[in-house]
Each structure stands twice: as C-alpha cells, then as structure tokens.
Amino acid sequence: MLDIKFVREHPEDVKKTIHAKHQEGTKGALVDQVLTLDSEWRALKGKGDDLRAQRNKLSKEIADAFKKKQKPEALLAQAKELPQILEATEAKALALETQLQALLAQLPNTLHKDVPLGKSDKENKEIKQIGKPKKSTFEIKNHAELIEGLNQADFGASAKTSGNGFYYLQNDIALLNQALIHYAIDHMVKAGFTYVETPLMLRKEVIGKVADLNDMNMQIYKIQDEDLYLIGTSEHSLIGRYIDTILSEKALPLKHTSYSMCFRKEIGSHGIDQKGLYRTHQFNKVEMIVVCKPSESMKYFEQLKKITIDIFKGLGIPIRILAICSGDLGDLKHIQVDIEAWSPRKQEYFEVGSCSNLTGSQARKLKIRVDPGTGEKYAPHTLNNTAMATSRALVAILENYQQKDGSIKIPTALHKYMYGKKVIGKPVKTEKKTSKKKK
C-alpha cells in the first residue's frame, strides 16, 4: 500500500508504474479515483475539525453567559444541533476513508530502478550464473521414479490418502529432508537471525494484509467454519505478528527466521497433477524476514539474496539469479529476484528461492509503525526471502547427485546431519515371480 502523501505529490509516477506493470486495463483509473476520494475525505475531515472547534467555542460562550446570569437559548439550540451534524460528518468521513484505503491497497508499489521492464515471466532477466552444470554420461531419471525405486517415497499411497500434490517420504530421503532443514536453519542463526516458531494458521484480518488478493483466491486454504487460514509461508506469521504495532526505532532491524510446514492450493499451476516433489500442496520451508529503517532496506535485500546463494553454493548445486520483471512482480513488491537451480534432466533452471523488498507497502497494510523517539512515526520497510523450500532442494540434489547405478551421493555439507551417511543406497531388485505349472 502506497502512502497517500506520495500519491498526492507524485500521481504521474504512480501511473507510470501501472503502465510498466501493464495494468492499465484494470487499474488505469485508480489514481484519479484515489485523488478524488482523498480530496472529498480531507474536505469532510476539515469540516469535522471546524465543527469540533465551533462546539468548544459554543461551550465557552454558554458558560460565560451563565456566569453573567444570561439565558443563552440561541447558543443552547446550536449546541444541541452540533453533535448530530458532527456525527453525520464523521460517519461520512469514515466511509470515505474506508473506500480510500481499499483503493490505495490496489495500487502497486513503486518499482526499483533495477527492475527490468516486461509483461510476463518470459521477460524476466538472468543476472548471473553460479556454478557450472556438469554433463551427465547417463540418462537422468525422474526424481519421483528414482526415490520410489529406492523405497524412499510412496506417491501412490499419498494419492489414495490425500490426493495429488502430497507425498510420503521415508528412510534416508526423509532424513535428508530434515538435514536440509537443519542445514538452512544453521545458516540463518549464524547470519544473526532470531529463530521463531510460528502459528500455522492466521485470521483473515492478518492473512488478507500479508498476502496479495490473487494469493488469497488461488493459493491460501481456508478452514471451514473458522476465521482461520493455513499459511502458505511462515513469512505470513513472522510479519503478521506485528499487525497494528508501534515499534521502537532502537529495536530495528528485526531479523527473524522460521521453519514451518506450508500449504498452497496451487490453483492454475502447471505440474500439480504430476507425481513428485516439485509442486505440491504441502511442503517444508525455511523463511526469513527483515523489518528495518527505509534507508537500509536495499542493503538487507542484498544480504538476504546472498544467504540463499551461499546455501545452494554450499550444497554444490549450480544456480542462477533471475531478476523479476515489472509485469511479473507482485503488487506489494518493490524489487524481487529468484534463485533457480539447474535441472540436468530438463536442461533448464527452476525456482528454489525468492527474495523481495516490499519497502513500506506491507507495513502500511498491517499498520506497523516505528517511533523514532523524536519526530513523526513512519512505516518501516519489510523484506522476505526463502532460505530453502526443501522439496525443491531435494529435487535439485536428486538430479545433480544422481549416479549411474541409481544411487544418490549426499552433498558434503549435509554429511554431519546424516549420521555420517554419504550415499543413499542402490535400487531394490525385485524378484521375478514364476507361476507353477499345474500338473
């Protein structure tokens, strides 16, 4: 959500952002509507202030009249009417303010100068590749086929118990999943982040302010007959914790990280009906957020990005950094980069992490303010970053560390979390059944 002062002073800049995001069809008239409502609201607010001043003046005049033994009938009549007029004016002002806030929430955040212009994800821009993909001398198996053959996963059972988009992991792969969680958490704690355990469900008031409207419709699960929603990322809980809160500037920056199960409907997402770990309704994720002074947010953006890069470099996974273009950028976001891992099987990169600076847009929606001790309170900047979604990391490991005999090498960085194990076994050979001939 943009600051109304910014919209008043820079309406053309806001319109340029809408144009850059190719949203003229849906939001082209929003800026003018916001300015009209804002003008009407300020006029009513001014009228309300005048009425309150008039009420105070009348009270004083009535008191003075009584002191002088006078009968201020006319003044008393005015004083009787004023509360009703003031109440009606304030009600209209509140209704206009509610409408104004709803429209402001639809305006996209400003764009950082480094955001590439583009209409869709096809125009996202590669910034850098890190690590050289190795050429395989054998055919890389599909990760789901590979781990089922090793008796490490059961996708058939999960389809029967829960439907597509779920999985059973077991044996060494389940332990590898936990190893990834601990590996990522260790990175975060060493980087100075406070580890937090969060709720996995949030009220609508909170989820509606931490997630985009599109996410609410397409991604977030609602609990039937309850004012609760399952989180799609622990970022929702980490930042939602500070809804309607005034923070001391001395407490900044807040640097928090959390591991959680995450839940997403993934409506309209390609791949949800395919067996495997790549796109699922339930998955594990280590997330991080920062709440900081506006002047420091791009510094922390670079730090957060580096953490995810270092995590995957430590695993020996070839990656690239992808700048998200204007048309593919969520409305709350000022700038975003994705970290993508190399898939030897598909010979392309796929997303394993995402880092975003939301400047003050999310904080304003949540009514998070900072008290500097002297001067006016302000909205802090908020950032979030995926340290690791373990299901995606598992896919990257299963493809990049797969061996010709069907076994999987475990990245060296994870050995200490795997009880010293360095390889996940070989395929289980199934005996051929021979039917007995009837005599």
Handedness of CA 292, 293, 294, 297 (dihedral sign): negative
Task: Tell me how crowded residue 42 is: count the other CB atoms within 10 A of its CB.
Answer: 15
Q: Is 367 exposed, middle or buried (0-12, 13-18, 19+ CB in 10 A)?
A: middle
Q: How far is 169 from 259, CA to CA, in rounded Å?
A: 18
Q: Element (H or E) spanning 48, and its range?
A: helix 30-67
Q: Which of 264, 345, 364, 369 is catalytic?
A: 264
Beta strand ranges found along 42-183 (DSSP E): 125-130, 153-154, 168-169
Q: Which of 158, 234, 241, 279 is catalytic?
A: 279
Output the six-digit token pair for 275: 């067996």
Output the six-digit token pair for 397: 């490991």
Residue 140: φ, ψ to 5°:
-75, 125
Is 340 part of the annotated catalytic residue set?
no
Q: Which of 287, 369, 392, 399 is catalytic?
A: 392
Q: Which of 42, 266, 351, 407 is catalytic?
A: 351
Is 279 part of the annotated catalytic residue set?
yes
Task: Tell me how crowded residue 28 is: count the other CB atoms within 10 A of its CB.
Answer: 12
User: Following CA atoms 86, 91, 92, 97 in sequence, which dihedral angle do they give, to the nearest 10 degrees?
Assistant: 120
Output the six-digit token pair for 93: 């002002």
Q: Is 322 helix (H, G, I), strand (E, B) or coil?
A: strand
Q: Which of 258, 354, 361, 391 is catalytic?
A: 354
Is 392 part of the annotated catalytic residue set?
yes
Point out the residues that are catalytic: 264, 279, 351, 354, 392
